[in-house]
Amino acid sequence: MEDNPCNFVPSFGKETLRTTAVTPQFEQHMDYVDFIHLNVLEKKVLNNSEVSVQYLCSKPCIINLEAVASSEFRTGVPVYRRRWKDEKNLYISRTRKVHLKFPSIMVYRDDYIIRNSIIVHSVIVYAWLSHKSVSSYDVEQNEDYQDAVAKNYTFLEAVPPFERPYKDHKVCLQWGADYLWMLQANRIPQCPHESDGVQILNFIYASSGEKTGIMKKFEQFENRELETVRQHQIDYPMFTVSIWLYLLHHCEKDLCGILYFIDPKEMYSTPAVFLNEEGYVHIQMHLMRGDDLAVKTSFSLPLKQWFRLDLSFKGGQVEVSTVGKNLKRHHHQSFTFREDFYYDDTAGYFVLGGSGYVNGIEAFFGPVKYYRLNVLETEQISNPLHDKETVEQIELYYERCMDIQEIVYEYRYIVRQGEKALRNCYYENYYLELIYKYGEKSKCDAFMWGKELREKYHTLFKLLQEMDFSAPDVLEDGSDTVLEVGRRIFEKVAKGLSSADGLSNMGSSVPLLVDSSCCGYHKASYFLAVIFETGLGVSVDHTKGLLYSLVGAQGNERLAVMNLGYKHYQGINNYPLDLELSYAYYSNIAIKTSLDQHTIKGEQAFVETIRLMDDELLKAQTKENGDVFMWLKHEATRGNAAAQQRLAQMLFWGQQGVAKNPEAAIEWYAKGAIETEDPVLIYDYAIVLFKGQGVKKNTKLALELMKKAAAKGLPQAVNGLGWYYHNFKRDYRKAAEHWLIAEELGNPDASYNLGVLYLDGIYPGVPGRNQTVAARYFYKAAQGGHIEGTLRCSLYYITGNMEDFPRDPEKAVIWAKHIAEKNGYLGHVIRKALNAYLELSWHEALLHYVLAAETGIEVSQSNLAHICEERPDLARKYLATDCVWRYYNFSVSQVNAPSFAYLKMGDFYYYGYQNQSKDLELSMRMYAQAALEGDSQGFFNLALVIEEGNSIPSYILDHLEIDRALHSTNTSLLQELYYRCWNNSNQESISPCSLALLYFYMRVFWNNILQSTLIYFMGTFLLSILVAFAVQYFQALSAHNSPGTRSEPSSDEPSSSGNSNEDATRLVQQDESTFSNNLSQQQSNPQNPLVTS
């Protein structure tokens, strides 16, 4: 396709800064022709290479010989020079032999003295003669090869480093140095296997069009040759990027990010590729002279079909192509800039999608390939669509959804038109008008669609007939109507699934959820993702699970986004481990969490860590008619400030089982602020008045209350005054003064606000922006739990653009995940699950705990595993996956896993859980981790592992900080474990650990007594008498010849539901004679005492 001159700045050609001088022609007449020839016997770069120089001079002359080398790092470096004069042998051909001397690093192998020989690419030997004044020979001359009377040159072939000889340095090395060199003399170092082709993305990424995306940073090549090429190409870049896309919409406003580079100053650099409102590709480049220039393609990108966007960059040229799934080129366009680009891909980071500077595109990203050093044609690019099944499923999904949305929109239009006609008739008859207003709504039974379509979507048509499209929440806008229909379908299905035996109807619910998803209501998409991923009432289908996870995440459903972030963070369920991709999802929800907390609307609840095994916390849960709530309300009415504060918090955030009710909460804030002198209540009410949350704004009263609370020394109130001066008065000096005071009082909000002043460059008395100081304040705020401060720091860790924050993608993910899991919409699902559990509504509890657990929040994972243990019949009936194993396994993979989860998994690995094989080492690792969490049971179980005759690996002991040298025997190691067990248990009461420690000391004492010689003799004598007496006794019994009855003792298998009290009892019952300095010998068939408390 030809360039469109309207789309880019006309090219003025490449400006060449270095030109080659033209050799001047000698105009003088020469009677004799001077010449010079070179003859090299062996044309290789060797030390003492012999060169024959044959020449003729017609005047006194100076002959020059020079060798110039080019290596991997430098070019045109003189490595040998020689010259001589000849003033007597005129008009006579002469020959002179010269031995070239090169630097050792060019001609010898590495050894103890020559540490880094260089790779020589080429050596050129130049020879020339010039007519110079012989008297000036001793003066420094700069004879020019171009101006010489006669000249010649020849090439020498470079010798690879490992084909060169060793140099005889004629020095005697010390024995140690010589020995060290001999150890590595014949070791040939291998260049790291490295390619310039980098797979930036190899899995589908759902871009929702938000200000978040995938951030990648590239380091220098380890291979020196590749790194040399990269550095040479900074001012003349040559690279190619290939991106698979499934575009849903063009950019809604201005530009949306596809792929762009951010430099260390947080500015756009080469390249910056965006999508505009019309679907054209906008390409912006950073030129060598420092300014930026942008062009726009004359073709637009297609919607709702997979295509590949290929961009290649060479010097000042850009090639843009689009390719279909069949790899046939659709469009092609080239641009030529008037100047070369500047491009250093290690000085900054790449972004796919959105960032804090621009929204991303609404699309699915497929594989993205980046060739750092090469310009490739479309046919040469190797970037296939790997997961073809998922790719096809995405296409089929949106084709189906287009049909459904069209049906809903047209059905609504027909119904509205019919109602409008009826309404016009009814207005003429008062009686008919009353029937229309209060009577049963009419249904539309006539369809304009064919039988085939009606049968294909029969459930949808049935639901549409039941809906009232005259309701005020069904808006005039068609797209809002489609979404509203999706919401109604979902609520109907969710209500049915939450009922008793509701999960039994999952098969009939799935088609309705698909219809709801297609209408754009993506809570249904997440339901479908979880249903297919876990096999909840249906067969497991990972492909459909992935499809609906991606669709839900692209539609900005918070739980679906978190689900993908978690799966890529852990690399589970066939999702590749990709920290940058995980961060893209988690940061999206983390940003929303910050915004959601300032919104009192929506189905939100405070995320509380309530474990179903904690009876005390469960008893504290209440409702508006519960005893706890009624008691708090009674105390609050009496003027108890603490009760008023707690009651208001519960109602405002939806805590402790109370439904969210901001209006009621504000009444208690107001009552407490007016009637009491409690500074917290005064501050809370002031904030509500400032922001107008659920009440009319009243800045004057809010300021009075804030000053009153600050006067009482409340740190957050002092910070609030700074916020007032910053936002309302724009008085940054006073704002900074208050924030400095509040920060000294330990307020994290103040730390964050001070950071913002430095970041925006408005800190009083400090000129310009200071990102370094700002980042330190943000980090301090994050340490105090500040949400925005944590978000800032996670961004620094993923980009690596800040000096104090070295790039650490894993830490970035952990921090973003921590904030995302505070989201109120997730809290609402967890609260519904907990309420259902307390009401013994098992189906609803199971459903909502599965939904929460699949987002990756640990408390829901361990709670779900507990429910599956408590109701195994329910888990087996409705879940196709092993619920207990799956979710305890997920739990222990978290950074905040509880100790009891480690103990559970330790028992599973020790005993072997159902289809899982035993693994003693993994079991000990789990027990050790529980011990590190401060759980005495972990130490107890490790001690019992030793009692069973097993040994603990040294790396586990190192992890526990147990010195193997100090505890070399099992006796010493057992003493240390039992002591730590006792030290971490309740020392005020008798615990299994204290009994075990006491029994251990008794065994040691008794063992020491038995080692005495005298006691041994007396014991042997007494034992002999006892044996003799026993023999006589049995002989007497046999004389009676009476039959005896013998009973076999029964031994029960220990189960993981036992406790450590039983363990201690069994431990005492063990045969004491088996205890010795080496406690590894046990009974032939011992009972296994490893249990979980």
DSSP-based three-state secondary structure for 40: strand
Helix, strand, coil fractions of the chain, as percent rounded to 5: 45, 15, 40
H, E, C per residue of 330-397? EEEEEEECCCCECCCCCCCEEEEECECCECECEEEEEEEEEECCCCCCHHHCCCCCCCHHHHHHHHHH
User: Do residues 222 and 265 lie in contact, with contact meaning Cβ atoms separated by under 8 Å?
Assistant: no
H, E, C per residue of 165-231? CCCCCCCCCCHHHHHHHHHHCCCCCCCCCCCCEEEEECCCEEEECCCCEEEECCCCCCCHHHHHHHH
Alpha carbon distance 241, 262 (integer Å) = 16
Alpha carbon distance 371, 383 (integer Å) = 11
pLDDT at residue number 1072: 35
What are the Cα distances from residue 187, in Å, to 151, 164, 174? Answer: 44, 14, 21
The answer for residues whose C-beta is within 8 angstroms of residue 646's C-beta and 6 or more apart is: 632
Sign of the alpha-carbon torsion through 963, 968, 973, 975: negative
Distance of CA 234 to the CA centre of its chain: 30
- Give the closest residue to 902 by CA, choosing from 865, 874, 871, 955: 865
Q: Which parts of 427-500 fold into alpha helices (H)? A: 430-438, 451-456, 458-466, 478-498
Alpha carbon distance 210, 356 (integer Å) = 9
Distance of CA 789 to the CA centre of its chain: 18
Average pLDDT by stretches of 10, the chain with 1093 residues: 41 32 38 84 85 91 91 82 89 90 87 78 89 59 72 88 82 68 61 82 95 94 85 90 96 93 92 95 90 92 95 93 92 90 92 94 96 92 90 94 85 71 57 57 56 71 70 52 88 89 88 93 96 93 95 96 96 93 96 85 84 86 75 75 77 74 76 80 85 81 89 92 91 94 94 94 90 94 94 94 91 96 93 91 93 95 94 90 92 91 93 85 94 91 90 90 86 88 77 81 73 58 64 54 37 36 38 33 32 30
pLDDT at residue number 7: 43
pLDDT at residue number 674: 76
Please count the residues of the chain.
1093
Half-sphere exposure (Cβ direction) of 153: Cα atoms closer than 13 Å: 12
